Amino acid sequence: MSSIGTVRVDLAGRGYDIAIGPGLIDRAGELSAKLLARPRVIIVSDDIVAERYGARLFNSFKKAGIEASILFVPAGERSKEFDTFGQLMNALLDQRPDRKTTLVALGGGVVGDLVGFAASVLLRGVDFIQVPTTLLAQVDSSVGGKTAINTRHGKNLVGTFYQPRLVLADTDVLDTLPRRELLAGYAEVVKYGLIDDPAFFDWCEKNAADLLAGDAAKRTYAIEQSCRAKARIVAADERETTDLRALLNLGHTFGHALEAETGLGPDLLHGEAVGTGMAMAFDLSARLGLCPAADASRVRAHLGAVGLPVRLRSIGGDNRRQWNAAKLIEHMRGDKKAQAGHLTFILARGIGKAFVTREVDEAALRGLLDQAIAA
Ligand SMILES: NC(=O)c1ccc[n+]([C@@H]2O[C@H](COP(=O)([O-])OP(=O)(O)OC[C@H]3O[C@@H](n4cnc5c(N)ncnc54)[C@H](O)[C@@H]3O)[C@@H](O)[C@H]2O)c1
Ligand SMILES: [Zn+2]
């Protein structure tokens, strides 16, 4: 058996394991059997992922003597809207679940967020298992228990904190993930090094090419390190009541503003926005004299070297944007993380030395944005 990594998320009474490695989809039944209140699961997936992996996951449950059925939603962020959510709830209830039925989310962050939310309210709460299939979902969204759907007021404004019983991150499925999605997820991997683990950032610089090319052992290691970092922060601050969990938003104040400006569409994926946003956060830290300029250059160089967009002018494909600093700041003020008008930034004193601040001078921010727009 090839090596499977395990990370434990320690939460009193609700702790769970994240298993990471190749071949896990085919072992899902065996690995989850003892956790199920009753041998009955309903798998929910998106149509793209279901076509590739639905039957294998279904068969793995069957093989373990677990009754299984499978439902689909269309692939894409729009499946996190109320309409899809309502249809999914009715489709789930059509399956006559009881409180001991377990839901299984097979897909990226969209399916994970949607199904996690559904599990938290179906019959006032049923268990669920995450089988994340994008790198972003494996290192970020499937861990930590945030669930959400979108409204016309913005993304992720309706949701719950609801932890899965198990996460199975099968590294093989990343082989079919489009390169752009893989890179977007990789930005969130780098994030963990930049927050508080400079040795992991060094590792990323040396091993990114192999990892992105499909090296299974390196993928497992990077996902394990990422999950361990997120699990540690989540265990200490499950509901984001202190600034600790906010560190996970490194690059996100800028990133969310860029996403808002590009319309949350295919022009800029979330992880791409976070990559650009992290480069900007380090540049702002350097501009404020908090962080050595050499560290900010190193961050930008690594993200650029793997192929993430680090310059605003490279974003948007054919329909290049006219970026506007005032508009970007307006988006930042609209972000749900902004508290009483104070923008929250995650800045850094160097690689692996991130901290939270609400004291960023607006003129400096303006200067940084103008420079990024001109670059
Ligand atoms: N809950 C959290 O803590 C958290 C954290 C970060 C992001 N999110 C949410 O995650 C969502 C984004 O997730 P995502 O980036 O995984 O996007 P996604 O779920 O939309 O997946 C991206 C695309 O890849 C396809 N795909 C997935 N796995 C595949 C595979 N193995 N092979 C081929 N194609 C595959 C999907 O069908 C989809 O078209 C957003 O809605 C975001 O709000 C949540
Ligand atoms: Zn993110």
- Best mutation site among 181, 238, 256 for ligand 1, i.e. most ligand atoms within 8 A of its Cβ? 181
**In sequence order, which residues have a C-beta less than 8 Å from that of residue 72 and are 6 or more positions away?**
44, 45, 46, 47, 50, 54
Which residues are near ligand 1 (CB < 6 Å)? 46, 48-49, 52, 75-77, 80, 107-111, 113, 133-134, 136-137, 140-141, 144, 146, 155-156, 173, 176-177, 181, 270
CB atoms within 5 A of ion ligand 2 belong to 274
pTM of the model: 0.95
State how far Cα 52 lies from the chain centre: 21
Q: How confident is the model at residue 1 (pLDDT cuts 50, 70, 90)?
A: very low
Q: pLDDT tens across 8-44, in order? A: 999 888 999 999 999 999 999 999 999 999 999 999 9
* pLDDT confidence tier of residue 222, bands split at 50, 70 and 90: very high
Q: Which one of the ligands is nearest to 254 CA?
A: 2
Six-digit token string for 286: 């350097």
Evaluate if residue 107 carries a pLDDT over 80. Answer: yes
Average pLDDT over residues 116-121: 98
For ligand 1, mutation pick of 80, 133, 138, 173 (most atoms within 8 Å of CB) = 133
At 243, the amino acid letter reads D
Residues with Cβ < 8 Å from 35, sequence gap 6 or more? 102, 127, 129, 165, 166
Separation between Cα atoms, residue 57 and residue 116, nearest integer Å = 18
Q: How far is the CA of 136 from the centre of ligand 1 (A)?
A: 7
Which atom of ligand 1 lies at the shortest distance from residue 269's CA?
A: 15
3-state secondary structure (DSSP) of residue 257: helix
CA distance 102 to 125: 10
Task: Enumerate the active-site residues.
Answer: 124, 146, 188, 230, 240, 245, 249, 252, 256, 270
Give the position, in ligand 1's atom list, of the atom nearest the Cα of 113.
1
Place of tokens 């902004």: 338
How many CB atoms are closer than 10 A to CB 333? 11
Element (DSSP H or E) covering residue 73: strand 67-73
pLDDT in tens, 313-350: 888 765 567 899 999 999 998 776 666 667 899 999 99
